[in-house]
Amino acid sequence: MESHLPLKVLLAAPRSFCAGVTRAIQIVEACLERYGAPIYVRHAIVHNEHVLREMEAKGVIFVEELSEVPDGVPVVFSAHGVPPSVVNAAKERELPTIDATCPLVARVHQEAVRHHKAGCQVLVIGKKNHPEIIGLLGHLPTKDCQVIDDIEAARNIQIPIHQPVAYVTQTTLSVEDTGQIVEVLRKRFPKLIEPRKETICYATTNRQQATRTIASGAEALLVLGSPTSSNSTRLTEVARQVGCQRVRLVPEPDELNLAWLDDVNVLGLTAGASAPEYLVQRLLDRLALRRTLVIEEVPVTEEKIQFRLPLERFPKIPQMPVSRPSIKSQHSQAGFHRSKSIALSQELHLA
């Protein structure tokens, strides 16, 4: 049903791709340009079905095990990181490998290893079945690390007497929930050794802060992102924590029943760090057909971080071109999509 009633949209900023996701996607695209299809990627390069479908259409094949990769074919490790056992298995088979691990995830690996070498029991705050945690645990002996996935686990964890205790975290956790877990650990272990730098990444923190800001003034809030995306699902939790009870995670903008918003006058809108900006644009287009949009972008901070592509580490493969790739895909032009979205906002009576 078409309506001319206004709908105010509070658009979170920052939102959508972070620097680590952009870098991982660019690495895969550079491999396609340099080596040609097919390119194999161990695990989903990022947790978003739209990105994966587009890559599959270009000749990318996603696998969970190296045994699924033919001999001699390039394989990319996903942004979530891999355990050293996977790296070693690839070396044994002489598979050409390109590591797309987010530099911030790699930093957490280094922090955990540093604590272990110092003799600490390393507490890893995160979801034990998440690929980022699986990759991290592979860097540590089982007896010297434990996963803490909630406050109850923090209260009950047992540490060998006289062993120093340190912690690191998954990069995509809820800042508030993690803070509560750390407080419990501090009370139990007064000499708890903390990371030298925050291990929840800047993009996770910024998107949660932006979501918290718009959710407090919205009657309903939509998060564009995949159910498999930890950072996207955390945004729905953050919105509910500040009192916005009408919250939905939206994997497919075209499938959202817009009638759900008919009685909403103020809508919050954001996108997880693995969700492309064009999904925001697509949803705004749909909403504009039904309501008169008054869009207000609500910036909480400006992100300027960019990660360099490790082009010098791309392996040279016999009988394959080795030209320097030029990255010109829609995914690597996150700024373009952001500008396009803001331009549309102005056309739709920008507040």
- Coil, strand or helix: which one is 18? coil
Amino acid letter at 192?
L
Q: What is the per-residue pLDDT for 332? A: 44
Structural domains of the chain, ranges and CATH numbers in brackets? 6-17+202-303+332-347 (3.40.1010.20), 19-102+307-313 (3.40.50.11270), 104-188 (3.40.1010.20)
Average pLDDT, the chain: 90
Between 219-223, 227-231, 309-313, 345-349, the lowest mean confidence (pLDDT) is in 345-349
Task: Give the H or E element holding residue 94.
Answer: none
Is residue 292 classed exposed, middle or buried when 0-12, 13-18 and 19+ CB atoms within 10 A define those classes? middle
Catalytic residue among 132, 277, 302, 312: 132
Asked if omega into 14 is within 30° of 0 (cis), the reply is yes
Is 132 designated active site? yes
Do 314 and 99 contact (CB within 8 A), yes or no?
no
Kindly give, in sequence order, each residue whose CB lies less than 8 Å from that of residue 322, ignoring residues fewer than 6 positions away: 34, 314, 316
Do 40 and 73 contact (CB within 8 A), yes or no?
yes
Do 273 and 17 contact (CB within 8 A), yes or no?
yes
What's the pLDDT tens digit per position in 32-73? 999 999 999 999 999 999 999 999 999 999 999 999 999 999
The predicted model gives 223-238 an average pLDDT of 96
Q: What is the per-residue pLDDT for 312? A: 83
Kindly give, in sequence order, each residue whose CB lies less than 8 Å from that of residue 189, ignoring residues fewer than 6 positions away: 159, 165
Phi, psi values for residue 111, rounded to 5°: -65, -45
Share of the chain above pLDDT 70, in %: 89
Q: What is the per-residue pLDDT for 3? A: 59
Q: What is the per-residue pLDDT for 179? A: 95
- Coil, strand or helix: which one is 50? helix
Q: What is the per-residue pLDDT for 161? A: 83
Q: What is the DSSP letter of 316?
A: P
Is the full-model pTM beyond 0.85?
Answer: yes
